[in-house]
Chains A and B, each alone.
Chain A
Amino acid sequence: AAGVIQSPRHLIKEKRETATLKCYPIPRHDTVYWYQQGPGQDPQFLISFYEKMQSDKGSIPDRFSAQQFSDYHSELNMSSLELGDSALYFCASSLESFLAGRASYEQYFGPGTRLTVT
């Protein structure tokens, strides 16, 4: 079955540079989420989009922005990179659906992008 695709898988940037992470959700999924996981930490929610509109916002720095495009893929743009931005960045997608009368909102995560800022 198709899974969430993230690119690139690894990215090395220097301080003050910019980075763009891409996420391609599972086909027909309408919602995309971004999470950041620092070394030794649990994943932390950054931002989400439903039907190309921002649906929720977490602890995302003002230096970061994101959007979801008409084909439902999403991009996380990170500017003025800092050493502390080094982390794993996960994208997840979900579909609002009802299966046999039950809501189903599980999120499916991609393999992540490992960003290293030097």
Chain B
Amino acid sequence: DAKTTQPTSMDCAEGRAANLPCNHSTISGNEYVYWYRQIHSQGPQYIIHGLKNNETNEMASLIITEDRKSSTLILPHATLRDTAVYYCIVRVAMKTSYDKVIFGPGTSLSVIP
């Protein structure tokens, strides 16, 4: 799986949009970008994933650059409950030995009142 690079930490004011960047310059054509988050001591939570088109769901939006070398996770209206470590992961989405999620150093997002 391709390696990703994320900021170690970020702050965001409550109610504002949180934009979390991720660099994945070595991503392969068949690799998806996945985002998970982990609120302190809870199980990681799937947020969103995409291949090359921008994606949106009830939790967040995912913006992938045209060259697919970077992406941004957007939480449109951050709340205190969004304080968590956010992991950007690239992986092949098919039933192979690459199914496991490899968690690397993510971004610790602090939402501030």
* A residues whose Cβ falls under 8 Å from a Cβ of B: 4, 31, 33, 35, 42-45, 48, 50, 55-56, 58, 88, 90, 92, 94, 96, 103-112, 114
In the bound assembly, the distance between CA atoms of A43 and B93 in angstroms comes to: 20
**Interface-side segment among B16-24, B63-71, B76-84, B102-110:** B102-110
Chain B binding site: helix, strand, loop or mixed by DSSP? loop
Q: Once the chains are docked, how many angstroms separate the CA of A56 from the CA of B97?
A: 6
Chain B residues within 8 Å of chain A by Cβ, number: 22
A92 to B45, CA, bound (A): 10
5 shortest A-B CB distances, which residue pairs?
Answer: A109-B43, A42-B103, A45-B100, A106-B46, A103-B93
Query: Nearest Cβ in chain B — how far from A32, in angstroms?
Result: 11
Taking CB atoms, residues of chain B closer than 8 Å to A107 are 46, 101
Give the docked Cα–Cα distance between A111 and B43 (Å). Answer: 5
> Are A106's CB and B34's CB within 8 A?
yes
